[in-house]
Each structure stands twice: as C-alpha cells, then as structure tokens.
Amino acid sequence: MTTLIDDPLIAAMSIERVLPLHESSRRLRELYPQCPRVYGVAVVGDVSIRRWWPLESAVRTDRLQAMFDAATVDMDRRSAARQLVATLVHTVIGRVVALLVLEARAWDTGLENLWVHVDSDGVIDWAAVVDPTVRVLPDDPVGDGSVCLPSEAALATWVAHRCHRTLEALFAKLHDVSGGAMSIAAMWQIVGAMVVATATQVPQLGGADELLAMRRGQAVLDALVGFGLPVRGRSVARARRRATSCDIRAALPILLASSDT
C-alpha cells in the first residue's frame, strides 16, 4: 500500500470544524498518495494566504499574461497555451469531476468561489474554495454543509453550468493574452478529454464502480454539449484510449501537485 506523503501545505491547514468537503477532499487526496494535491481542494479559511490568490483575478489582472509569458521561455506559444489550458481545466473541472464520479458530490466551481495556490515558479498546484458547501443527492447521509439536488442529472448539469461560466471567462482571457495561439474550440476539447480521463482513471484508483463513474462523467459532457460547447472530438477519443491503457501520469494532461511551499 502506498503511503500518503506528508505534504507541508496540507499538514499546515487549520480546520476548526470538519465539514463534508473536508472529508471528501481527504478521500480524494488518498487516490494519489504520492502527490496528494492532485485531487480535492482546500477551504480558504483553513490555509495561510501565502502564494494563494483568487482565480477571479486571472480575468481582471495580468496574471494569465505573466503565466503564459513564463511558459513561452521553454516552449512555443501553442504548447505554452495548451499547457496553461490543461492546468486551468484540471483546476476548475478535473478536480470536481473526480468527486462527482466517486461520491456524487460537488463543490461550487464558480469563478468567485475558487482560489489557487502557486509554486515558486508561479505554476498553479492546488485549489481552494471560499464557500465549502457541497451539492449532494437525496440518498447522501451528509448533514450540515450541503445542499441536496434531486437527481444525478441535476447534479451533473449544475456542475457543468458552473464550470462552463468559469472556464468561458478564463478561456477568453487566455485567448487574448496568447494572441490566439490556441483556438477557444480547442480549449473546450481539452475539457472533454479531461472529463473522460478523470471519469475513467479515478474509479480505478479509488476502487469505485467504473460504469457508474463513466455514466456520471458522460452526464457532464452531455450537459456541456447542451450548452453548445465543442467538448467532443478526436482529443476526447484519444483521452478515452489513453485512460483505459495508461497510468495516471499518461491519462491526465498535467500533474499539478508539488512539494514546493
């Protein structure tokens, strides 16, 4: 059995009251013990603000410009844009889909609710929420700290809607600062690939029902398609093939956990 790494940021969290999100995030961290920040989120009130900033500021400041420019030092502009898109997609939708497929729970991924932590190079390596309320299904035994939605379809649609609004703003900003190095349609295909990879790999890591997980992931994709978003394409098909044949490092576009504090 793999031992969970003692991550300094996680160890330093100050949790006064354990909420459903804390419990779910702990289980998500156990999916990939070598890099416990890959899945799950923190609660903003539990962490030090050092190297944390609200994701909303990426839209109204030059943060994305600085991140894109730093990435272009080591790669071409399209590759830099693709790497940054993958990071944002995992931060916003990859993490929450991991919880959705495992536990039929979800936190709010609204732009105003998300904060991110960056390492010493300015790369996003963790996420947090301001409001820790989770959305759950009627048969979930959770009590306080949750809002009940009537069905899996309603939960998947709510997740897709909140992620859509957040990513739409981030993609528009990145498209602008990168000078159109990557089309917005291609960015949405990365979203589709991420959902497929997460819904396929996470149940294998957590020992969950793979068909149930894929059904929930598919429901998110269907909702995104219903919003008119091009999340299906060749990149999604490739992700499905990779996720069923490769380990977690190959299935996810980028691993975001870091031991840097």
pLDDT single digits (tens) 170-229: 999 999 999 999 999 999 999 999 999 999 999 999 999 999 999 999 999 999 999 999
Paired residues of 135 in beta bridges:
106, 147
Q: What is the pLDDT of residue 243?
A: 46
Whole-prediction pTM = 0.89
Q: What is the pLDDT of residue 259?
A: 30
CB 118 within 8 A of CB 258: no
CB 127 within 8 A of CB 95: yes
Q: What is the pLDDT of residue 250?
A: 37
Tens-place pLDDT, residues 65-90 = 999 999 999 999 999 999 999 999 99
Q: What is the pLDDT of residue 6?
A: 82
CB 166 within 8 A of CB 112: no
* Sheet-wide strand order for 114-118: 42-43, 124-129, 114-118, 52-54
Tens-place pLDDT, residues 227-252 = 999 998 765 555 555 544 333 333 34
Domains and CATH numbers, the chain: 8-249 (1.10.510.40)
Place of tokens 């730093």: 70
Q: What is the pLDDT of residue 4?
A: 62
Long-range pairs, 71-78, Cβ under 8 A, ≥24: 77/178, 77/179, 77/181, 78/181, 78/182
Q: What is the pLDDT of residue 244?
A: 42
For the segment 54-71, the average pLDDT, to the nearest whole number, is: 97
- Give the three-class secondary structure for 39: coil
